[in-house]
Amino acid sequence: MFEKIRVTTGIPYLDALTQGGFIKGTTNLVIGPAGAGKTILGLHFLLEGAHRNENGLLIAMQEPPWAIRRDASNFSFFDHKYFVEPEKVLMLDFTPSGWELWDPDSLTYTDESEMMIDAEGVPYDETSLPTFLHRIFYHISQVVEEKKIERVVIDPLAAFQFYDYGNDFGFLRKITTGFLVNIAALNVTTVAISEFPGGMDYSKYGEEYITDSIINLDMLSVRGEMIRVLRISKMRGTNHSTKTLRFAITNNGISFLDPEND
Ligand SMILES: Nc1ncnc2c1ncn2[C@@H]1O[C@H](COP(=O)(O)OP(=O)(O)O)[C@@H](O)[C@H]1O
Ligand SMILES: [Mg+2]
47-56, 81-90, 191-200, 226-235: segment of lowest average pLDDT? 191-200
Ligand 1 pocket mutation, candidates 29, 30, 40, 47, criterion most atoms within 8 A of CB: 40
Does any ligand 1 atom lie closer than 6 A to the CB of residue 226?
no
- DSSP, residue by residue, 186-206: TS-EEEEEE-PPTT-SS-SS-
pTM of the predicted model as reported, rounded to 2 decimal places: 0.91
- 222-259 per-position pLDDT tens digit: 999 999 999 999 999 999 999 999 999 999 999 998 76
Q: What is the chain's mean pLDDT, rounded?
A: 87
153 C-beta closer than 6 A to ligand 1:
no
Residue 159's alpha-carbon distances to 3, 61, 105, 205, 260, in angstroms, are 34, 6, 22, 11, 38
Q: Is the separation of the CB atoms in 207 and 30 below 8 Å?
A: no
pLDDT at 202 over 90: no
Q: Which domains does the chain have, with CATH numbers?
A: 6-261 (3.40.50.300)
Lowest mean pLDDT among 25-34, 107-116, 213-222: 107-116
Specify the pLDDT at position 129: 81
Nearest CA to ligand 1 atom 11: 249
Q: How far is the CA of 147 from the centre of ligand 1 (A)?
A: 29
Say yes or no: CB of residue 74 within 6 Å of ligand 1.
yes
